[in-house]
């Protein structure tokens, strides 16, 4: 008998994970490219809306329409990810997203600006299906002890290109106009397909749902999530936290374009600061976060919510743009600690057969709250002003962190064993 090959050594840092794991690196690169183009579009779309309408409510509505499809797009995408080939789903979604990105070129006038809303909705719905397949497939490319690094790597590809895409988007919109940003976004989705087709490892299907209906399969995933107290608590915390986060993004665009008058590409500077601070923090902190015990990871998770909430409440106070940018960077630091720890905890408490649906339920919870908050925040901005809005958002973001820490302290939440996956508790 031949001995089983020894498992590869566990990566201790992000560079090690990317250097040693070819398939994970390819999928990561594909996401890196597509996210870059998406940030170009984010900067351009907000500039185009404010140029043609000047309305905070209009910007908030577009942001809400980018989030709200998560309620059904994520849930149905999770069913697809557990039933069909996850790589194929991602490739088809990327091609559809490329066509939709070019559709924004048709919305560049007061008469056709309304096209932004269905385009934002359709792009978001397709994107959530893509993310459901990615979030189910990508963890199977790494070892359980690398879940924090996996989550950090997924987030850092967005932050790196958020920094470059946000700042470059601001420059491109200012120099060339927003139309080219939409074209570059379409090209980025095509490039993502090139990387994705080269990935062959991992579990590309959850299996076990081929002969059940979509609704029954979704209900099965909900039962698995409900059976875990930790997953239930994570979903509740994410919903309340994102009620604050969605409004925070809407309010940021108002600060950049209306309060500090940073120009058409003004949101790009906030996105850029968020990307630089977030990427730097993750590169330095991810190895430390991975070494923490599961209980300590859950403690830091709650503290990050509280920190971001306090910082968000203070964002309504500055009268100088650089002070607001510094506070925004501090909030970004807390958020990038929250995301990989929350994702790693969720993955550790869900099994591969149901992971697509559990992760999609997580996305649906977040995006529903983000969308509701973005829409309501646009109304509050136009009615009560940004100072009151930031205070309310900060409270919403801090409270779930306090509740999480209290539940953990009282023993209501049980961390997963170190390096193990516990689909049910």
Contact 145, 416 (CB under 8 A): no
Q: Which residues contact 375 (CB under 8 A, 6 or more apart)?
A: 60, 61, 63, 64
Cα-based distances in Å from 155 to 250, 278, 342: 21, 9, 12
State how far Cα 213 lies from the chain centre.
Answer: 29
Give the span between the Cα atoms of 215 and 226, in whole angstroms. 16
Give phi and psi for 340, each to the nearest 5. -65, -35
Contact 305, 400 (CB under 8 A): yes
Least confident of 16-25, 211-220, 224-233, 343-352: 211-220
Give the span between the Cα atoms of 207 and 197, in whole angstroms. 21
Mean pLDDT of 342-356: 77
More confident site: 230 or 109: 230
Q: What's the N-to-C CA distance of the chain in angstroms?
A: 38
Token digits of residue 24: 């994970």
State how far Cα 206 lies from the chain centre.
Answer: 22
Mean pLDDT of 209-220: 58
Give the span between the Cα atoms of 178 and 174, in whole angstroms. 8
Burial class (CB in 10 A: 0-12, 13-18, 19+), 322: exposed
Task: Please tell me the pTM assigned to this model.
Answer: 0.67
pLDDT given at position 48: 78
Question: Does residue 299 carry a pLDDT above 80?
Answer: yes
Token digits of residue 142: 């790494």
Q: Count CB-CB contacts under 10 A for residue 181.
A: 27
Q: pLDDT tens digit string along 353-392?
A: 677 777 777 777 887 787 778 778 877 877 888 888 888 8
Give the span between the Cα atoms of 91 and 80, in whole angstroms. 14
Token digits of residue 236: 């509740």
Instruction: State whether residue 57 is helix, strand or coil.
Output: helix
State how far Cα 67 lies from the chain centre.
Answer: 11
Q: Where are the domains of the chain?
A: 20-409
Give the span between the Cα atoms of 25 and 29, in whole angstroms. 6
**Region label for 229, one of left (φ > 0), alpha (ψ between -120 and 50) or beta (otherwise):** alpha
CATH for 20-409, options being 3.40.309.10, 3.30.565.10, 1.20.1250.20, 1.10.10.10? 1.20.1250.20
Q: Which residues contact 216 (CB under 8 A, 6 or more apart)?
A: none
């Amino acid at each position: 008998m031949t001995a089983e090959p020894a498992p590869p050594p566990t990566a201790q840092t992000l560079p090690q994970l990317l250097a040693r794991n070819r398939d994970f690196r390819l999928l990561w690169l594909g996401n890196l490219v597509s996210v870059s183009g998406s940030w170009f579009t984010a900067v351009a779309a907000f500039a185009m809306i404010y140029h043609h309408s000047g309305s905070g409510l209009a910007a908030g509505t577009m942001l809400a329409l980018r989030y709200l499809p998560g309620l059904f797009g994520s849930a149905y995408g999770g069913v697809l990810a557990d039933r069909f080939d996850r790589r194929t789903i991602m490739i088809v979604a990327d091609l559809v997203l490329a066509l939709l990105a070019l559709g924004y070129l048709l919305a560049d006038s007061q008469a056709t600006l309304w096209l932004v809303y269905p385009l934002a909705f359709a792009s978001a719905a397709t994107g959530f299906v893509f993310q459901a397949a990615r979030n189910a497939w990508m963890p199977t490319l790494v070892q359980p002890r690398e879940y924090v690094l996996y989550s950090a790597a997924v987030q850092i590809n967005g932050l790196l290109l958020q920094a470059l895409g946000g700042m470059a988007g601001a420059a491109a919109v200012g120099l060339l106009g927003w139309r080219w940003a939409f074209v570059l976004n379409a090209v980025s989705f095509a490039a993502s397909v090139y990387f994705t087709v080269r990935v062959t490892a991992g579990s590309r299907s959850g299996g076990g749902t081929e002969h059940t209906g979509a609704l029954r399969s979704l209900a099965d995933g909900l039962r698995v999530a409900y059976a875990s107290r930790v997953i239930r608590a994570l979903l509740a915390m994410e919903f309340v936290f994102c009620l604050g986060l969605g409004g925070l993004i809407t309010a940021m665009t108002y600060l950049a374009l209306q309060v500090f008058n940073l120009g058409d590409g003004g949101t790009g500077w906030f996105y850029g600061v968020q990307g630089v601070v977030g990427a730097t923090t993750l590169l330095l902190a991810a190895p430390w976060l991975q070494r923490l015990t599961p209980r300590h990871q859950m403690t830091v998770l709650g503290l990050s919510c509280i920190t971001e909430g306090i910082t968000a409440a203070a964002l309504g106070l500055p009268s100088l743009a650089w002070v607001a940018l510094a506070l925004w960077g501090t909030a970004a630091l807390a958020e990038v600690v929250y995301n990989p720890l929350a994702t790693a905890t969720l993955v550790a408490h869900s099994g591969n057969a149901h992971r697509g649906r559990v992760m999609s339920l997580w996305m649906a919870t977040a995006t529903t709250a983000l969308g509701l908050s973005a829409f309501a925040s646009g109304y509050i901005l136009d009615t009560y002003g940004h100072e009151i809005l930031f205070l309310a958002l900060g409270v919403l973001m801090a409270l779930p962190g306090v509740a999480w820490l209290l539940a953990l302290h009282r023993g209501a939440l049980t961390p997963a064993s170190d390096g193990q996956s516990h689909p049910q508790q």
